[in-house]
Amino acid sequence: MNTSATTASANHTPLVDTALFPEGGDGEVRAAHRLYEHLVGIWAPGVVEAAQDLGAFAALTEGPATAAQLSERLGTDLRATRVLLDGLHAYDVLGRARGEDGQPVYSLPPEMHGVFAPGGLYSLAGKITHDRNVAWDAWRNLAENVRSGARTSGGAQQLNQISEEDYTALVRGINFWAPPITQVLAEGLRAHGWTSGADRRMIDVGCGTGIYSQLLLNEFPELRARGLDVERIVPIAQEQAKRLGVADRFRTEICDFWNDDWGNDSSLALFVNIFHLQTPESAHELLLKTSKSLAEDGVIAIADHIVDEDEDGSTQNKFSRLFAASMLATGGGDAFTVQDYDQWLADAGLRRIALLDAPMHRVLLAGHA
């Protein structure tokens, strides 16, 4: 079997070949093609999530297969299975090669195996579960939320709060963001004078699985971390700390970060993907509380979808602004600007030290003014 001929590509190929437009063609027709390509964006989660639901990725983890072999294994219709597999190949998720009998053979590239495995450290399985439970219906209501501002009955802007059950799936499904962000954060801390981490203690507020602290503990072998989160989530963080070999320096605390005390001697207070859940008022409040929890030379690190109004063409801004729309669809939260953060920091007696780019995020470091 020739599996090398058309393996899944590492590069995303566009769905519309714009080179085929005639020179000087109708601008409206081009615009319609461009917009149509956005509108059919819904196809991508459609085919990926269907394949995950059916167990197709799990089956392909065991080796390449034809549509007939997969349909028998999954109990699905043969023709429809082929349609689904070809769709996944079109999105570069599956490889597709001709087998000896001329039938296509589909393969899941090795680097994708962990991406769909429920227990994989960087698996998207939890993100898929979350999207099926929350996001599909939420996007349908975006117009209504724009009309109403997604406010409470009293007129206040809302925090983005999904249920603890939904967070249980989602926090495992966003681990993959952590390695490059943690690298950027570690470099930023080193530039700020952090060496071994000796005598340094950090808190990871709303830690989720605790992946950022856990990877940072590997960067700074003498650092110690406390992961703060709700009762349902902290066992996930504790278990993962063991898996990553840092359980001796990572402990969890069941904590409501609004109402419980965080201590007052943190060398680092870390917030990853926490500020985009806030309203301007609650973000401001969170920074006032953080200021009190920091040691004299302590650092606040915020890794989030932060818009920089001075960098308008940046990929981070584009992603952040769409992320803000997804927050609005699911009920509240925002992607705040650097300028917003600077104002809240100043009000809390803090100042920005650095703003660093990371994939889909920016990392903002701040300390006492």
Ligand X SMILES: C[S@@+](CC[C@H](N)C(=O)[O-])C[C@H]1O[C@@H](n2cnc3c(N)ncnc32)[C@H](O)[C@@H]1O
- Interacting residue ranges for ligand X, rule: CB under 6 A: 167, 171, 174, 206-208, 211, 228-230, 233, 255-258, 272-274
Query: Minimum CB separation from ligand X for residue 119, in Å?
Result: 17
Single-letter amino acid, residue 151: R
Min dist. Cβ of residue 209 to ligand X (A): 6
- C-alpha dist (Å) from residue 4 to 35, 85, 126, 184: 34, 17, 31, 35
- CA distances for 69 relative to 82, 240, 355, angstroms: 11, 36, 51
Strands 224-229 and 201-205: parallel
Nearer to ligand X by Cβ, of 156 and 198: the residue is 156
Angle at the Cα of 356 from the Cα atoms of 41 and 38, rounded to 5 degrees: 10
Q: Which is nearer to ligand X, 7 or 183 (CB)?
A: 183
Paired tokens of 295: 């040691």
CB of 305 vs ligand X, minimal distance in Å: 11
Length of the chain: 369
Question: Closest CB to ligand X among 106 and 275?
Answer: 275
Identify which of residues 107 and 278 has a Cβ nearer to ligand X in the complex: 278
In the complex, the smallest distance separating the C-beta of residue 242 from ligand X, rounded to whole angstroms, is 18
CB of 58 to ligand X, least distance (A): 24
Shortest spacing between CB 167 and ligand X, in angstroms: 4
Contacts of 167 (CB under 8 A, 6+ apart): 208, 230, 232, 233
Nearer to ligand X, 107 or 158 (CB): 158
Cβ nearer to ligand X, comparing 8 with 287: 287
Residue 170's closest CA among 137, 128, 212, 213? Answer: 128
Distance (Å, rounded) from C-alpha 74 to C-alpha 310?
A: 51
Between CA 99 and CA 65 the distance in angstroms is 9
